[in-house]
Amino acid sequence: MLHVAIATRAFRRYSTYTAATLAGIFTNSVFGVIYSYAYLALWDQRPHAGGYYSVDAVTYVWIGQALLMTVALWGGGSTDDLADRIRSGDIAIDLYRPVNLVGWYLAADLGRAAYHLLTRGLAPMLVGAFLFELRWPSTPLTWAAVPLSVTLAVVVCFAVRFLFAATAFWLLDSQGPRMVSGVLAIFFSGLALPLVLFPGPLKDVAFALPWASYLQTPADVWLGQRTGRSLVAALGLQAMWALVLLAACQLVLAAATRRVVVQGG
Amino acid sequence: MSLIEVHNLERIFTVRKRSGRFRRTASEVRAVHDLSFQIDAGEMVGYIGPNGAGKSTTIKMLTGILVPTSGHLRVAGLDPSARRTDLARRIGVVFGQRTTLWWDLPLRDSFELLRKIYRVPPERFVHNLAEYVELLDLGDLLDTPVRQLSLGQRMRGDIAAALLHDPEILYLDEPTIGLDVISKGRLREFLRTLNRERGTTLLLTTHDLQDIEALCDRVIVIDHGTAVFDGPLSELQRGDGSSRTLVVDLVDEAPAIEVAGAVTRKVEGPRQWLSFPAHVSAAPIVAAVAASYDLADLSIHEPDIEDVILDLYSR
Amino acid sequence: MAEPTKGLTRAVADYRAIAAMWVRAALAYPASFWTMSLGSAAITGLDFVAIWLMFHTIDSLGGFGLAEIGLLYGATGLGLGVADLLIGSVERIGDHVRRGTLDAMMVRPVSLLVQVCADEFQPRRLARIAQTGLVFGWAATYVDWTVPRVLVAVEMVVAGSVIFFCLFVIFSCLQFWTSEASEFANAFTYGGNTVTQYPLTVFPKELVKSLTFLLPLAFVNWYPCLYLLGRDDPYGMPGWLRFASPVPAVLLCGVTALVWRRGVRHYTSTGS
């Protein structure tokens, strides 16, 4: 199948950068250690802050480092290629292909995400487990829900990144919008600080936004914070954002294609 | 003492290749081997050889970018890698493949920055800039960002940039690559003028024999890291081995053409390749062939650098 | 003895000339400059927003209040910010090696380190300095200033900048040997900035000792701030460490010079 082939090729492409991956795992681990101690100090003051215990908070840190690259939280992934190709004009070639562009780039991003999950996702978790006490999923249902939640996280993040990268069709240089996207992602995904610690109204808003799907939701699934109905609701919200945003991508793409065709590439 | 002195220069590279999953084998590549030559001030020297012969490696050693493995190397009395910044004031380098200019800014800004870096006295700079702008036809381009220039325009900009500080030596590494015929001609004319009027020593590495014919009185041929020829160009081309090729397309197939002064090397259907000495005129041979055979088309191929060197080896 | 100072003035003049050109290039696109600057300030500011939000739940972290942490955060941010501004494209020296642009630099009569540090001088990096400076300024209003404290504060920011600058260059030099490990440096530079944003009391004593004697990041803000805030050292480390920031800064300069020279020698001996 074509999309599997695209994903496999992306996986392989990223797997050639062994030294960079190792360096990245090291960096992830260093930041994991720093934030772990910082959160331990916070939870020392308030042992049940945000409904978490300190072991949850530390686990959250390492999940954050693991998902950071997997989801391509603050940028990167196939959408950077998209932005480059729009800027250089090569996108015109892609638009004439009979394959849907969104599907193409999504497949590539999933391939990349698979590689990053196995390397810069798994390895830091193991480092974190070695250095600190972490909470692991306790029921088979949780173990099953986590991969689903992570996959949805990748898709939602991809769609958002796609939309910001697609601004290049109109602005030519999408660096600014992508930077905005990064800022919003770092804050509203819960990477800078777990959303559970956000003050009341801000917390409610943040949980409803798509960025929560990147990290906060998968982390809560892993930590067993979402069970039964609230688990279904959480996954459902992720899925809804994925569908809505992918649809938005298709609309934007259609508009961009019209523009490119009219302007002659 | 010569301006450029090279004695027994060696440059060995260690190349590591993956053999199997985790092992690596190291092999030695002799990029430059036992290279010796001297260049005096004011000479125009062509430095030619096939790809991978060691041309760029030599230039890198002469400019101090690369340290020789062994041997003696002095440029303007200085050891290039030890006295890099001192030597840099007195040389100019034009890299054919990449630019030394700053990509996003207008040409004028690059020149202005170079003026500051090389500490060119203002009057000298104004004079040089005016002269090179005129000679290299850069007037309209001064306010264009370098990234918007065509290859030929950028090359001219690079040359001006390399000369603003009145260097004694100008190194040109494949300067005419990618240029069209007209630009090549204009560039060659400019370099001849430069050497004649300012006495700038020119060392030109190229793959293009016509560059050499137009510019260089002296030629050093390098192959597999060693100089296989060092002398006047005329001597190189008038050698017995050098030959040109007449490619003849006959109307009908025929056995190998026999004609005085040429040897038929290859026959493929109606097309035949005839070899004759390079210094001899092609006209009598063409006439002889046309008299005896029905011709559909013909063309003459100049000896290329590979042929010249192969011939050198066969001597 | 005149030679080193003459070399230094020349280096500064060359740096200024090259950097000025990049500033002009950046200001030629004012819209882009301002968006990127604001975006950059937002990204660096998020760290402090996170800490500020933490203080909605707690009122001290590691025994330090928000303003005190603000002082730590601001000081390390200023140090990293100034260093980041001055290093140009050093972090990507591997790119220069690969693309051959290092060669173009080597044929010019300017120190190679100066050229690499002035290359792609980005005025938008002033955003981090401005943002962390604001936080530092706010936190400084809570400090009981005396003349010695002002001097120590100045010394702290200068030494901090030098320390971060040296770390950037030293770790970037790895790229002379391997082209793929540029992210490795981030763990020490940006990681170093992050670890010092927090009061070192949140970390185990062994880590603090490593950051004192092995990788001298604690001198970037921690020890001087203890003096500025009039606090005792929670780990009982000697009091003179608070004034010793210039020492690791100078030592690191020496290490940087050695590592840089070694890296360049490797490049000129093996080519690209």
Tens-digit pLDDT profile for residues A204-241: 999 999 999 999 999 999 999 998 899 999 999 999 99
Q: How close A171 gets to chain C, by Cα (Å)?
A: 11
Q: With contacts defined as CB-CB under 8 Å, which chain C residues touch B64?
A: 106-107, 268
With tokens 């082209």, the residue in question is: C179
Q: With contacts defined as CB-CB under 8 Å, which chain C residues touch B93?
A: 107
Query: What DSSP state is assigned to residue B166?
Result: -
Chain A residues 160-199 within an 8 A CB cutoff of chain C: 173, 175-176, 179-180, 182-183, 186-187, 192-193, 197-199
Rounded to an integer, what distance in angstroms lies between the CA atom of residue A63 and that of residue A50?
17
Contact C66, A205 (CB under 8 A): no
Q: A41 CB contacts (<8 Å, ≥6 apart)?
A: C61, C62, C198, C201, C202
For residue C114, give the chain B residue with the closest CA.
B117
B70-75 and B4-18 beta bridge pairing: antiparallel
Q: With contacts defined as CB-CB under 8 Å, which chain B residues touch C271?
A: 13, 57, 60, 66
Instruction: Determine the number of helices (DSSP H) and then strands (DSSP E) in chain B.
Output: 10, 13
A38: nearest CB among C56, C184, C202: C202
A49: nearest CB among C39, C57, C195: C57
Q: With contacts defined as CB-CB under 8 Å, which chain B residues touch C14?
A: 116-117
- Predicted pLDDT at B265: 80
Q: Do chains B and C touch (3 or more CB pairs under 8 A)?
A: yes
Contact B311, B239 (CB under 8 A): yes
Q: With contacts defined as CB-CB under 8 Å, which chain C residues touch B100?
A: 104, 107-108
- Predicted pLDDT at B315: 52
Chains that touch A (3 or more CB pairs under 8 A): C
Mean pLDDT of chain A: 93
Q: Do C270 and B98 touch (CB under 8 A)?
A: no
B209-212, Cβ contacts within 8 angstroms, sequence gap of 24 or more:
B209/B48, B209/B302, B209/B303, B209/B304, B209/B305, B209/B308, B210/B184, B211/B46, B211/B175, B211/B176, B211/B184, B212/B46, B212/B48
For an interface test with C, which of B11, B104, B144 has the most C Cβ atoms less than 10 Å from its Cβ? B104
Q: How close A14 gets to chain C, by Cα (Å)?
A: 12
- Predicted pLDDT at B239: 54
- Predicted pLDDT at B217: 85
The band of C86, judged by pLDDT with boundaries at 50, 70 and 90, is: very high
- Partner residues linked to B37 by β-bridges: B6
pLDDT tens figures, A107-133: 999 999 999 999 999 999 999 999 999
Rounded to an integer, what distance in angstroms lies between the CA atom of residue A140 and that of residue A145?
9
Query: What DSSP state is assigned to residue B54?
Result: S
Give the residue, C145 or A90, on which the prediction is more confident. Answer: C145
pLDDT tens figures, C13-58: 999 999 999 998 899 889 889 989 999 999 999 999 999 999 999 9
B117: nearest CB among C103, C108, C268: C108
Q: With contacts defined as CB-CB under 8 Å, which chain B residues touch C268?
A: 64-67, 81
B169-173 and B201-206 beta bridge pairing: parallel
The alpha carbon dihedral of A27, A180, A107, A92 has a sign of negative
Q: Do B100 and C271 touch (CB under 8 A)?
A: no
Q: How close B19 gets to chain C, by Cα (Å)?
A: 19
- Partner residues linked to B10 by β-bridges: B70
A182: nearest CB among C43, C181, C202: C43
User: Residue C106: exposed, middle, or buried by beta-carbon count in 10 A (0-12, 13-18, 19+)?
Assistant: buried
For residue C54, give the chain A residue with the closest CA.
A197
Ordered DSSP codes for B269-287? TTEEEEEEETTS-SHHHHH
Both tokens of residue C130?
């401005």
Judged against a pLDDT cut of 50, whether residue B179 lies above it is answered with yes
Rounded to an integer, what distance in angstroms lies between the CA atom of residue A44 and that of residue C241?
29
- B243-314: in CATH 2.60.120: no
Q: Do B13 and C270 touch (CB under 8 A)?
A: yes
Please, where in chain B does CATH 3.40.50.300 lie? 4-237
Judged against a pLDDT cut of 80, whether residue B242 lies above it is answered with no
**Residue % of chain A over a pLDDT of 70:** 98
- Predicted pLDDT at B181: 78
Is the CB of residue C24 less than 8 Å away from at least one CB of chain B? yes
Please, where in chain B does CATH 3.30.70 lie? 243-314
Both tokens of residue A83?
């932005």
pLDDT tens figures, B96-132: 778 889 887 899 999 999 999 999 999 999 999 998 8
Chains that touch B (3 or more CB pairs under 8 A): C
Of the candidates B308, B223, B305, which has an alpha carbon nearest to the alpha carbon of residue B52?
B223
Q: Do chains A and B touch (3 or more CB pairs under 8 A)?
A: no
The band of B238, judged by pLDDT with boundaries at 50, 70 and 90, is: low
For residue C64, give the chain A residue with the closest CA.
A41
Q: Do C269 and B67 touch (CB under 8 A)?
A: yes
Rounded to an integer, what distance in angstroms lies between the CA atom of residue A77 and that of residue A56?
29
- Predicted pLDDT at B306: 60
Q: Do A27 and C42 touch (CB under 8 A)?
A: no
- Predicted pLDDT at A265: 47
Q: How close C257 gets to chain B, by Cα (Å)?
A: 17
For an interface test with A, which of C44, C53, C122, C201 has the most A Cβ atoms less than 10 Å from its Cβ? C53
Contact C75, C221 (CB under 8 A): yes
Is the CB of residue C3 less than 8 Å away from at least one CB of chain B? no
Identify which of A84-93, A176-185, B42-51, B275-284 has the greatest average pLDDT. Answer: A176-185
For an interface test with A, which of C203, C210, C217 has the most A Cβ atoms less than 10 Å from its Cβ? C203
pLDDT tens figures, B67-93: 999 999 999 999 998 999 999 999 999
Per the structure, the count of domains in chain A is 1
- Predicted pLDDT at B28: 84
B148-175 mean pLDDT? 90
pLDDT tens figures, C156-209: 999 999 999 999 999 999 999 887 777 888 999 999 999 999 999 999 999 999
Range of the domain at A102: 2-263
pLDDT tens figures, C2-12: 677 888 899 99
Q: Note the ipTM here.
A: 0.93
pLDDT tens figures, A13-56: 988 888 889 999 999 999 999 999 999 999 999 999 999 999 99
Rounded to an integer, what distance in angstroms lies between the CA atom of residue C101 and that of residue C171?
20
Judged against a pLDDT cut of 60, whether residue B260 lies above it is answered with yes
Q: With contacts defined as CB-CB under 8 Å, which chain B residues touch C106?
A: 63-65, 84, 88
Judged against a pLDDT cut of 80, whether residue B307 lies above it is answered with no
Q: Do B14 and C21 touch (CB under 8 A)?
A: no
- B4-237: in CATH 3.40.50.300: yes
Rounded to an integer, what distance in angstroms lies between the CA atom of residue B152 and that of residue B183?
7
